[in-house]
Amino acid sequence: MKKWFAVIGNPIAHSLSPYMHDAWLQEQNINASYIPIHVKEGKLKDAIEGLKLLGCSGWNVTVPYKEAIIPFLDRLDESAAKIGAVNTVVKTDEGEFVGYNTDGLGFIRSLGETDHSNNILMLGAGGAARGIIFAFKQLGYKNLSVANRTLENAKKLVDELQFGQAITYLEAEEQLQSFDVVVQTTPLGMKSNSKELPIQLKGIKEYTIVADIVYNPLVTPFLEEAEKYNVRTINGLGMLVHQGALAFSYWNGSYPNTDNMIQRLTEQLGG
């Protein structure tokens, strides 16, 4: 029987995942398809029953269901359990539905070469930051600071994850010279938002990696500012593609071509 995969969310029409997974399935000659499913408010339970009943082999979960889906799964892997959010569901050979979270690891893969001793600065302490911080911890990174508008929220996050230290945006600006990687995770810079930046980058070290998890626009105001300095900027497409590649590998047992996909999506988004 032909396998099929899906992505569920609300809204879902603009998801790039169907394009990405269909291309990879074709490239690897896998007889399967991947479809977007719009799950309306209050319909998550029905949707999951439907997916199970109709033989879906696995699906991605996007906003706003990454947390709400948990009670409908048989179990979670360590990262999904610790992060409290699922972006990938895998149906095992035994028919169990297992939740994973590939966002954080996907993001770190998108950075390319980094070192465990690198000093990381996270900007923002929401759900996206949580997944990434946990992945840094899991991979054995040692030095990480979380700067946030509301210091209390950063403190709570580092306490819960038992990793890193909480600082203010002002402290982050003062310590900017000491960071090797700066990660922007707040919604600032998404299309409808203003040109406001979480921190100023004056004094940033040469060759620092500056990453934004937002990919629409491809160059956020934060990355635009970073490009004025001699640093390496990374947009959010890398995270999108690498989280998808990890999901693809859990479902199909093989790893797809990520560089090629980043290039194709960049062209599609007009970069």
| Nearest residue to 104 via CA among 73, 139, 135 | 135
Nearer to ligand ATR, 148 or 243 (CB): 148
88 lines the binding site for ligand ATR (CB under 6 A)? no
Of 48 and 183, CB closest to ligand ATR: 183
The reply on whether position 149 binds ligand ATR by CB under 6 A is yes
Nearest approach, Cβ of residue 237 and ligand ATR (Å): 17
Beta bridge partners of 98: 75, 90
Q: Is residue 124 near ligand ATR by the rule CB under 6 A? A: yes
DSSP category for residue 269? T
Q: Is 82 a catalytic residue?
A: no
Interface pick for ligand ATR out of 55, 64, 112, 187 (rule CB under 6 A): 187
Which window, 34-42, 93-101, 111-119, 186-194, contacts ligand ATR (CB under 6 A)?
A: 186-194
Structure tokens at 12: 């879902």
Residue nearest to ligand ATR (CB): 126
CB of 63 to ligand ATR, least distance (A): 8
Exactly one of 6, 128, 199, 234 binds ligand ATR (CB under 6 A); that residue is 128
- Shortest spacing between CB 236 and ligand ATR, in angstroms: 12
Considering the complex, state which of residue 6 and residue 188 has its C-beta at the smaller distance from ligand ATR. Answer: 188
Q: Is 145 in the site for ligand ATR (CB under 6 A)?
A: no
Catalytic residue among 66, 91, 142, 205: 66
In whole angstroms, the minimum distance from the beta carbon of 214 to ligand ATR comes to 10
Sign of torsion over alpha carbons 174, 221, 118, 101 = positive
Question: DSSP secondary structure string, 159-220?
Answer: HHHT-SEEE-HHHHHHTGGG-SEEEE-SSTTSTTS-S--SS--TTPPTT-EEEES--SSSS-
Other Cβ atoms closer than 10 A to 92: 11
Residue 55 vs 187, nearer CB to ligand ATR = 187
CA 106 to the chain's CA centroid:
6
CA–CA dist 39, 64 (Å, integer): 10
Cα angle 91, 97, 101; round to 5? 95
Is the separation of the CB atoms in 154 and 185 below 8 Å?
Answer: no
Active site residues: 66
Task: Give the residues lining the site for ligand ATR (CB under 6 A).
Answer: 124-129, 148-150, 153, 185-188, 198
